[in-house]
């Protein structure tokens, strides 16, 4: 990799792999896994909950991940349930030095609980503002603004 000594890249890479908590693996995920296997100083971090809610068209899944190059610290990525996008914001926390040899913890995600929590903590959007008793000045209910 011809980029400087340390780098953090975070975003929607559309690269699915079980290694960073996606439900499946796609071609982009396979390419990224090969890249990571050939570059020992780069690793991927994914949250334990979906970052993409599917919008009823597909299953919720992890699309937003972090890539860290030459960062010798433990990293954790978590989903923040705010905003009105079909992707939830993510928060990267970097902390203690990585233990020698590194450790990888794999956990199973209870997607039913994750979906309930996402719905409970979701910020209002233009699509859902007027559904549950919005005011007459609410831009989501079709009434003119005052």
33 confidence band (pLDDT: 50, 70, 90): very high
Q: Examine the pLDDT at 143 and tell me if it is beyond 60.
A: no
Structural domain count, the chain: 1
Task: Tell me whether residue 136 is in a domain.
Answer: no
> Which of 42, 37, 36, 32 has the alpha carbon at shortest distance from 3?
42
Q: b/e map of 8-41 (b: 16 or more CB within 10 Å)?
A: eeeeebebbbebbbbeeeeeebeebbeebeeeee
> Which of 72, 70, 76 has the alpha carbon at shortest distance from 101?
72
Task: Tell me whether residue 134 is in a domain.
Answer: no
Q: What percent of the chain has pLDDT over 70?
A: 68
> Could you read off the pLDDT of 36-71 as tens digits, one per residue?
999 989 999 999 999 988 777 888 999 999 999 998
Between 3 and 87, the more confident residue is: 87
Task: Tell me whether residue 135 is in a domain.
Answer: no
Between 25 and 98, the more confident residue is: 25
107 confidence band (pLDDT: 50, 70, 90): low
User: How would DSSP label each residue in the chain?
Assistant: --S-S-EEEEEE-----GGGT-SS--HHHHHHHHHHHH-TTEEEE--SS-SB-GGGTS--B--EEEEEES--EEEEEEE---SSSSB--EEEEEEEEPPTT---------HHHHHHHHHHHPPP-TTTTTTSS--TT-GGGTPPP-
Task: Tell me whether residue 144 is in a domain.
Answer: no
Q: Examine the pLDDT at 137 and tell me if it is beyond 50.
A: no
What is the extent of the structural domain holding 29?
7-98+105-129
Total residue count of the chain as it appears in this document? 146
pTM above 0.85, yes or no: no
User: The domain that contains 81 carries what CATH number?
Assistant: 3.60.10.10
């Amino acid at each position: 990799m011809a980029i400087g000594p340390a780098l953090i890249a975070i975003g929607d890479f559309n690269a699915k792999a079980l290694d960073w908590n996606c439900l499946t693996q796609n071609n982009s995920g396979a390419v990224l896994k090969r890249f990571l296997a050939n570059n020992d100083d780069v690793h991927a971090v994914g949250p334990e909950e979906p970052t993409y809610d599917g919008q009823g068209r597909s299953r919720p899944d992890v699309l937003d991940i972090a890539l860290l190059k030459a960062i010798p610290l433990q990293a954790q990525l978590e989903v923040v349930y705010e905003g009105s996008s079909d992707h939830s914001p993510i928060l990267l926390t970097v902390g203690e030095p990585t233990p020698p040899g590194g450790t990888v913890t794999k956990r199973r995600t209870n997607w039913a609980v994750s979906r309930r929590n996402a719905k409970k903590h979701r910020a209002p959007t233009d699509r859902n503002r007027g559904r549950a008793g919005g005011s007459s000045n609410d831009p989501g209910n079709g009434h003119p603004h005052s």
